[in-house]
Amino acid sequence: MVGKMNTSSYQSEFEKLLKKDYFSPKIIPQRKNAFEEFLKKNLSKKVWDDLRFTNLSALKKNVFRLSEVSDAPNKNFKHPEALTADSYKIIFNNGHYQKQLTTLPEGVELITNLEYYDNPENKVEQPSTSPFDLLNTAFMDSGISLSVKNNIEIKFPILLVFINAGEDQLMISPRIHIDIGKSSSISLIEHHLGFGSGNFSNSTTIFSLKENSHCKHIRLQKDSYQAINAANIHLEQEKFSKYYLSHFGLGSRLGSIGLNSNLNGQGAECHLSGLCLTKSHQHLDTHILINHKSSNCISSQNFKTVLKDYSSGVFNGKVVVSKDAQKTDSNQSNKNILLSKNARMNSNPQLVINADDVKCSHGSSTGEIDQDALFYLRSRGIDDKTAKSILIHGFISEIFESVNNKEIINFIKSDFDKWIEN
C-alpha cells in the first residue's frame, strides 16, 4: 500500500515557478486552479477511476524539482542519430526547446509558448481533469506552437526529439500546440529518449485538425527505465480530417499515454494503434476516449502488449457515440501476451452508443503463448527460445504494418528485437 502523497515538494516547486518572469502573468490564475484541483484529488484511486490498476508510488513518494535551462546537457553532449536522415528536426533537452538545432519546412511556423501565451487571443486550455493534464497546466514551463498553413503537403517527416539526460529527478512539463490547416498533411515522429535519469516527463499536446487535413503521428517512448513518462494527447477534428497514431512503448518505470479525440465534423477519422513491451517491474498505461459527435465518422483502436517478469499494463479504450453521430463505424481490439505468471494486464474496452444506425465492435484477449503453436514449432526441430521468439514476432508484426516508412520500421524493430531475444 502506498501512503498519502508527498505534496510538499510539488508545493515548493510550484511556488518557485510562480516567481519566474518568463511567462505572461495572465496564466497564473489557470496555473493555480489546476494545481489546487490536483492537490484536492491527491492522486486518489477512488477519484481517478481509470488509474485504479496503476502503481503511482513513484509520483507519490519521489521528490522532483523543476527543470532549469541550466539543466540542458553541456556542450560535450552528443545528440543521438536521428530516426531518419530525411526529416526536419525540433529538439528538446530536458524539456527546453533548442532553437539552434531546429529545422523546418516552408509553410510551417513555430513560436515558443512564451510568444504563444503573450498573444491575448490564445487562452490557457485545461483539456481534461486527469491528474497528468492538471499537473501539466500547473507546471508547464516550456513548449512550442506549430502551425501548418492551408494546402500544404510536407514531403518529409517532422521529428520531435525529447532528450531527458539529467542525473537529478527533474520534472519536465512541455505544452505543445499543433494546428494543421485546411487540406494540409504532415507526418510527425515523436521520439522520447532517456539516459540514466529518473526524470518525470509530463507533456500535453493539443492538435487542431482543420477540414480535410491529415496527420500521421508515430510516437516512440524509449525513456530510461528509471523515468516516468506521461503523454496527454488531445485532438479536435473537423470534417473529413484524418489522424493516424502508431505508438511504441518500451522504456520508463511508469509510462502513461492518454488520448482524447473529438470527431466534431462529419466524415472525420481517427485510427490508433500501439505496441508496448514491459519487463521487470515496469507499468505502462494506455487510456483512450474517442467522442463521435458527427455523422459518418470512423475510428479504430488496435493495441497489443507483451509482458515479462513482474511487469503490468492497462488498456482503457472508450468510444462514445452521440445521438447525432449516425453512420458511425468504430472498432476496438486489445490483445496481450503474458510471458510470466507474475505479469498482469488489465483491459477494459468500452462502448457507449446513443445512436441507432451504427457499426461498432470491441474485443479483448489476454493469455500465454499458444501452446499448440509452440509444440508445432518444436516438433519441427526449433528450440524453445527461438520458437517463442517466432510467435512473439508474429503477434506484434501487425502493429508495425501501420508504419509506412521502412527506415523508421527498421529503427524501431531493432530495439524491439533486442527486447524479445533477451
Retrieve residue 138's grid coordinates. 500547473
What is the pLDDT confidence band of residue 2, given thresholds at 50, 70 and 90?
Answer: very low
Inform me whether the pLDDT recorded for 84 exceeds 80.
no
Buried b (16+ CB within 10 A) or exposed e, 321-341: bbeebbbbebbbbbbbbbbee
Q: What is the mean pLDDT of residues 355-369?
A: 94
pLDDT tens-place string over residues 144-192: 999 999 999 999 999 999 988 766 788 999 999 999 999 999 999 999 9
β strands within 165-268, DSSP E: 170-172, 174-180, 185-194, 200-209, 214-222, 228-237, 242-249, 254-263
Range with the poorest average pLDDT among 96-100, 321-325, 368-372, 379-383: 96-100
User: How many angstroms separate the CA atoms of 220 and 190, rounded?
Assistant: 6
* pLDDT single digits (tens) 276-331: 999 999 999 999 999 999 999 999 999 999 999 999 999 999 999 999 999 999 99
186-220: per-residue pLDDT in tens? Answer: 999 999 988 767 889 999 999 999 999 999 999 99
User: In the predicted model, what is the mean pLDDT of residues 119-144?
Assistant: 88
Give which of 301, 295, 299 is closest to 356, Cα–Cα.
Answer: 295
- Which one, of 257, 246, 254, 184, lies nearest residue 224 by Cα? 254
**DSSP strand pairing (170-172 vs 283-292):** unpaired
Instruction: Provide CB contacts within 8 A for 288, sequence distance 6+.
Output: 258, 259, 260, 272, 301, 316, 317, 318
The Cα-based distances of 254 to 65, 92, 163, 419 in angstroms read 18, 21, 17, 17
Q: 188-223 burial, b if ≥16 CB within 10 A, otherwise e?
A: bbbbbbbbebbbbbbbbbbbbbbbbbbbbbbbbbbb
| DSSP state for residue 153 in the 8-state scheme | B
- 3-class state of residue 270 by DSSP: strand
Residue 8 is placed in which grid cell? 510538499
Q: What is the pLDDT of residues 69-82, one digit of tens each?
A: 777 665 555 566 66
**Number of residues in the chain:** 422
Q: Is 231 helix (H, G, I), strand (E, B) or coil?
A: strand
Q: Is the pLDDT of residue 47 over 70?
A: no
Q: Name residue 319's beta-bridge partners.
A: 290, 351
Model pLDDT, residue 405:
81
Model pTM greater than 0.85? yes
Residue 305 C-alpha from the chain's centroid? 15
Label residues 375-401 b or e (16+ Cβ within 10 Å = b).
Answer: eebeeeeeeeeebbbebbeebbeebbe
